[in-house]
Structure 1
């Protein structure tokens, strides 16, 4: 009776928390629409706000929370995505990806040699251009890759897809989503003892954006702790060779264009300022402090060194530990980059969810690690005890 009461109380409390969460999103989304000067963002804010409000109403009743979550995903992702695609509206990233795909098909390179305007720059690594080569709007492929990677990692939560930090880029176009999904998949595979597949997933992610590269050393440390040095080397070989094969030919073909587009521009080191200008510490330093860009880059390097030192001193032994380490590192990078935006917070958010779910043991539990010490001598078996039915004795 006590356990049943506790379960009911927990379910009641979770329902209240979820209702307040949807209600909060129903307020935040329209406020975001009123504050933003980007057309697709305003469309998303008003449509998503209505979807969140309906989800909050359904959660307050006696209906299943699963229906409320489905409504939240429908209102915050599906409906605004379809409306924006039909209207031909999208975030600037969509146009960049689609143009890079066309350039790759026509010129053999996804980069403009001498970019001048913001629209000329392509800050992504060459693998991202593949999404622009596929038929239809690039958002379908970017979002589909994200959802498929999350499913492979065992993250099948509608609440995650409906979260504003995820739902907004799904609808308006976000290039960080497939990168985040592949990072989660790679770390999850590393925890399951599949170093080759983990290296492949992380190598593909590293061919899309620089932000995926920190996941490689974290996954290698995880594999080394759980499986040993040889599997870790296999993971490293697959991951590095995959990323190198996708990136190096374009870097060597036109080093100047590659540097301007994917190194200098994202770091805010070109004459053309990056539109990634959210008021986070790195951006504020670069804008208001003399030599602030250099200071921000130094702090970014110090943060990276501290994370690397933590991997050497205390390497992660579980998916949860690896997810926390990555979430912390990318959260610091988001805060300290000179050219940054709030949308990059999707990295620590999704990786944090991976760590949380791994700790709960639902879908992403680690497999037992292989012991490195010799097996202990066998212990003589204990004679079996006949089963006694206590109910029959009573």
Structure 2
């Protein structure tokens, strides 16, 4: 319904990507479903898992249950994800303290910062410029939020939107040549979930081409440093719980089957091929090695090329993993679309600034 109304508004607008249909799409695909699901108290299991992780982290220093048995006992996320459960820990059950709301806030804050990075250092007129099709940064965020693979996890409480939002922020810093801040944003994402870790070598390779060895090292040090400072204390102090929750369970290799299951290739191999788990792990390792080798042989020369390479690697991992969800499609979809929009937005801003400078002369 929301998309249909947005299409009707777009048909009557002077430009199909105008702000009005974007707002209608967001209201219909995100706001209304989110309010309805909040009222009836329906949410994805991840919300409760993250809220419990915050309770455990501040009570014992360990966000993981030592001996999980059933699916709800497991926490497959890295320690940083527990931060989204702090409001619930402090204020109890409330729509405004739910981790679902803070996943949404984290995603929107990261995307707003990415737009600010892309438009910083410009005058007011240039900042209001858009892509050749007239899409401004704010409108682009609205359209991205209304995209089905983004709107769905935002409404049901998926943990992936803030992760991909921070990855987009890191790409924005990379486009502006700020290696240090790109590493900080990427490190924050890598402290939340394993899915952000493949982005580290990709952005390091991009920065090595664009800014040289020093920029690459700066990004690598910041990103790996933040991730390790967040993950290592828990992984070392509570190694058994960490291994069972964060390694065995999400990879589908533990005694308890992960709830993240889709009829993709990795799941079919596990079910139909002898020693299927070992086969899928070997295929994932080979695909990761192939993508890594491509970074050395033909490193990406732009954030768009880097995002494409990252999307390829994550798509292979998603398809081959024995425990995955079709919802993980948010990563390749956003990585294939948003960096291209960001590049077009930057080009439009540069063109606007050039025209303004020409008029002033």
TM-score, normalized by length of structure 2?
0.84
Query: How far apart are the structure 1 equivalents of 2:112 and 2:270?
Result: 39
User: For each residue in 1:258-311, what CA deviation from the matched residue of structure 2 results, as whole angstroms up to 9, or x when unmatched?
Assistant: 000000000101111001111111111112222111111111111100110010
Work out which of the residue numbers 10, 19, 25 in structure 2 matches 1:72: 25
CA RMSD between the two structures = 1.8
Query: How far apart are the structure 2 equivalents of 1:324 and 1:140?
Result: 30
The residue aligned with 2:190 is 206
Query: How far apart are the structure 2 equivalents of 1:230 and 1:210?
Result: 26
Work out which of the residue numbers 232, 245, 251 in structure 2 matches 1:248: 232
Work out which of the residue numbers 94, 117, 124 in structure 1 matches 2:70: 117
Structure with max Cα Rg? 1
Does structure 1 conserve the Cα–Cα contact (< 8 Å) formed by 2:258 and 2:323? yes
The residue aligned with 2:346 is 363
Query: How far apart are the structure 1 equivalents of 2:75 and 2:286?
Result: 27
Does structure 2 conserve the Cα–Cα contact (< 8 Å) formed by 1:323 and 1:354? no
Does structure 2 conserve the Cα–Cα contact (< 8 Å) formed by 1:319 and 1:358? no
The residue aligned with 1:152 is 113
Return 178-187 or 55-64, whichever deviates more.
Answer: 55-64
CA deviation after TM superposition for structure 1 residue 63, in Å:
6.6
Q: How does 1:345-356 map to 2 (within 5 A)?
A: 345-356=329-340
The residue aligned with 1:54 is 5
List alignment gaps of at least 5 residues for structure 2: 89-96, 116-136, 351-361
The residue aligned with 1:194 is 178
The residue aligned with 2:92 is none
The residue aligned with 1:382 is none
CA deviation after TM superposition for structure 1 residue 320, in Å:
1.0
Does structure 2 conserve the Cα–Cα contact (< 8 Å) formed by 1:191 and 1:366? no
Query: How far apart are the structure 1 equivalents of 2:25 and 2:4?
Result: 8
Match of 1:160, SS? helix
Query: How far apart are the structure 2 equivalents of 1:363 and 1:182?
Result: 19
List alignment gaps of at least 5 residues for structure 1: 1-49, 368-394
Work out which of the residue numbers 161, 164, 167 in structure 2 matches 1:180: 164
Decide whether aligned partners of structure 1 residues 121 and 364 sit closer, same or farther in structure 2, where only a CA change above 3 A counts.
Answer: farther
The residue aligned with 1:21 is none
Q: How does 1:78-89 map to 2 (within 5 A)?
A: 78-89=31-42
| Aligned residue-pair number | 317
Match of 1:276, SS? coil
Match of 1:99, SS? helix
Return 162-171 or 99-108, whichever deviates more.
Answer: 99-108
CA deviation after TM superposition for structure 1 residue 365, in Å:
8.7
Does structure 2 conserve the Cα–Cα contact (< 8 Å) formed by 1:282 and 1:296? yes
CA deviation after TM superposition for structure 1 residue 233, in Å:
1.1
Decide whether aligned partners of structure 1 residues 350 and 62 sit closer, same or farther in structure 2, where only a CA change above 3 A counts.
Answer: closer
Does structure 1 conserve the Cα–Cα contact (< 8 Å) formed by 2:168 and 2:339? no
User: For each residue in 1:303-334, what CA deviation from the matched residue of structure 2 results, as whole angstroms up to 9, or x when unmatched?
Assistant: 10011001001111111111111111111111
CA deviation after TM superposition for structure 1 residue 248, in Å:
0.4
CA deviation after TM superposition for structure 1 residue 201, in Å:
0.5
The residue aligned with 1:344 is 328
Query: How far apart are the structure 1 equivalents of 2:159 and 2:41?
Result: 18
Query: How far apart are the structure 2 equivalents of 1:356 and 1:298?
Result: 33
Q: How does 1:1-394 map to 2 (within 5 A)?
A: 50-62=1-13, 65=16, 66-135=19-88, 136-154=97-115, 156=138, 157=140, 158-359=142-343, 361-363=344-346
Does structure 1 conserve the Cα–Cα contact (< 8 Å) formed by 2:175 and 2:302? yes
Query: How far apart are the structure 1 equivalents of 2:347 and 2:174?
Result: 11
Query: How far apart are the structure 2 equivalents of 1:366 and 1:283?
Result: 45
Does structure 1 conserve the Cα–Cα contact (< 8 Å) formed by 2:171 and 2:339? no
Query: How far apart are the structure 2 equivalents of 1:82 and 1:288?
Result: 42
Decide whether aligned partners of structure 1 residues 283 and 240 sit closer, same or farther in structure 2, where only a CA change above 3 A counts.
Answer: same
